[in-house]
Structure 1
Amino acid sequence: MMNRFEGSGSREAKIRYLDGDFQILLPGGYVTCAVTGRQIPIDELKYWSVDRQEAYVDAAASLEGDKRAGALPSR
């Protein structure tokens, strides 16, 4: 397994999201938020969905991702 900080900072990393952790499959400096499209530096990645294998820039984006996927009831 590669160190999570190895690789080129100018390209997108390929990541497998696990419960409470993630595994770098292809080194890079960032991943893209599935909701906002913003780049998330690997060292700042805190929110993701294991089921959908998606990263989120913050808690609000994570909540929106759940809503879009139908994981939360709409009000």
Structure 2
Amino acid sequence: MLMSNTARPARLHFMANGFRVLSPGDHVLCAVTGERIALDALKYWSVSRQEPYASAEIATKVLTGA
């Protein structure tokens, strides 16, 4: 039986210029808001914190402490 990746969160390893899929899935959850982010829409993350963010504004606030 084949497993679908739909509605399943992925586990990722974030790198400076991309990410590597550790466990397959179709989305991740924003570390701040819990918002679901489709992998093909994921643009913002922290390499040092290994966290995904839903928007540039959220990432900026977290990473600058603002």
| TM-score, with structure 1 as normaliser | 0.77
2-side partners of 1:51 and 1:17: how far apart? Answer: 9
User: 1:65 deviation in Å?
Assistant: 1.7
- Contact (CA 8 Å) 1:47, 1:57: kept in 2 or not? yes
Instruction: Specify every segment of 5 or more residues in structure 1 that has no aligned partner in the other structure, as ranges.
Output: 1-6, 67-71
1-side partners of 2:61 and 2:33: how far apart? Answer: 10
User: 1:45 deviation in Å?
Assistant: 0.3
2-side partners of 1:23 and 1:52: how far apart? Answer: 15
Structure 1 consecutive aligned stretches of length 4 or more whose deviation exceeds 2 Å = none
User: 1:64 deviation in Å?
Assistant: 2.0
CA RMSD of aligned residues (A): 1.4
2-side partners of 1:28 and 1:14: how far apart? Answer: 7
Is 1:45 equivalent to 2:42 in the alignment?
A: yes
Instruction: Specify every segment of 5 or more residues in structure 2 that has no aligned partner in the other structure, as ranges.
Output: none
Identity %: 40
Count of matched residue pairs: 63
Is 1:23 equivalent to 2:20 in the alignment?
A: yes
Per-residue CA distance 1:16-47 (angstroms, 9 max, x = gap): 00011100000001000011110000000000
